[in-house]
Amino acid sequence: MPSQPNGRTAAASPAPADPLPAPPGPATGTPLVRLSGVRKVFNQLEAIRNISLDIGDGAFVSLLGPSGCGKSTLLMMIAGLVRPTSGEIRVNGEVVTGPRADVGVVFQSPVLLPWRTVLDNVLFPVELLKLSKAKYRERAMELLAMAKLADFAGALPRELSGGMRQRAAICRALIHNPSTLLMDEPFSALDAITRDDMSVELLRIWQANRKTVVFVTHSIREAAFLSDRVLVMGRRPATLVEDITIDLPRPRHIAMTEEESFNGYVRHLRRSIEASHADAP
């Protein structure tokens, strides 16, 4: 596991040869997710207009915008579940034409299968991808231990709290060791206190695994607290309004949200969103 989380400055570090199995080395500037001229039209309504961006390997990037601005659609396009009307999306250098084995997705709701134990839910992608379950069992237990769910491996989802279920869903998204983790407002159904805890937990898990994370949220605080970089999206049709680098030290603690440097970013992001509203017709 890489020890230096704040590796975005080490731009010259060589890219790993095989991107899938090994956890990526210290984050580099190598784009892992690349969108060029992505546009989406639903029923002749332009939902997303010409978005181009590069997301570096191992970076934690948030897509921030108001509800219904098309940020989830953008994420689902990266996941290969929705096709862009025009433009191109690449993950690990390959054009996305459908779901991929090197991507993990966490949805808004945990979508655990109620008849499976937590462990078997975490192993579900392994089953679908026809990988050896025995080989991944140990990794599943490690992930569950990291998510503080080791004692609940044999429990059914209904025995878990909302936060625990979403943590199990994160373990499931990581089980096949994807290079990219896509998260679609994963904490929006949780209460505020659990949400803060989950943010800290997520950063801890991310710190240990160093995936490239694309995190969709409508919470300014959440985006600022979690991310290396926040992409502010405007509404209808969605465009990138601003691209802000959050230069706060890692590991991050919830106490940092009271510091002036953090609040500066929050204010900046809020102004940026308000400005994008003002622009809209």
Partner 1 sequence: MRTLLDRFVWPMAVPVGLLVLWEVATRALGIRSIILPPPSEIIEVMVTRYDLILTHLWPSLYLTLTGFALSVVGGVLVAVLITTSPLLRKSLYPTIVVSQVVPKISIAPLFVVWFGTGMTSSLMLAVLVAFFPMTINAAMGFQSVDEDILRMARTYMGSRWQIFWKIQMPHALPFIFSGMKISITLAIIGVIVSEFVASQEGIGYLIKFAGGLLDTPLMMAAITALSLTGLVLYWLIAEAERLTVYWQSTSEFGSGGQV
Residues forming contacts to partner 1 in the complex (CB under 8 A) are 79-81, 98-99, 101, 103-105, 107-109, 111, 113-115, 124-125, 127-129, 156, 158, 176
Nearer to partner 1, 130 or 280 (CB): 130
Least distance in angstroms from the C-beta of 158 to partner 1: 7
105/220 with CB nearer partner 1: 105
Pick 15 or 129: Cβ nearer partner 1: 129
Decide whether 113 or 275 has the Cβ nearer to partner 1: 113
| DSSP E strand stretches across the chain | 31-42, 45-56, 60-64, 86-91, 94-95, 103-106, 180-184, 212-217, 229-233, 240-245
Smallest distance from the beta carbon of 261 to partner 1, in angstroms?
Answer: 36
Find the shortest distance in angstroms from Cβ 114 to partner 1. Answer: 5
- Residue 265 Cβ, how far from partner 1 at the closest point, in Å? 31
Closer to partner 1 by CB, 98 or 281: give it: 98
Q: Which helix (H) or strand (E) holds 44?
A: none
Strands of the sheet containing 31-42, edge to edge, are 45-56, 31-42, 86-91, 94-95
CB of 267 to partner 1, least distance (A): 35
- Per DSSP, helices labelled H in 29-183 are 71-78, 118-122, 124-128, 133-146, 162-174
DSSP state of 117: -
| β-pairing verdict for 229-233 and 240-245 | antiparallel
Say which DSSP state 18 is in.
Answer: S
Q: Taking the CA atoms of 84, 90, 96 and 101 in sequence, report the sign of the dihedral they define.
A: negative
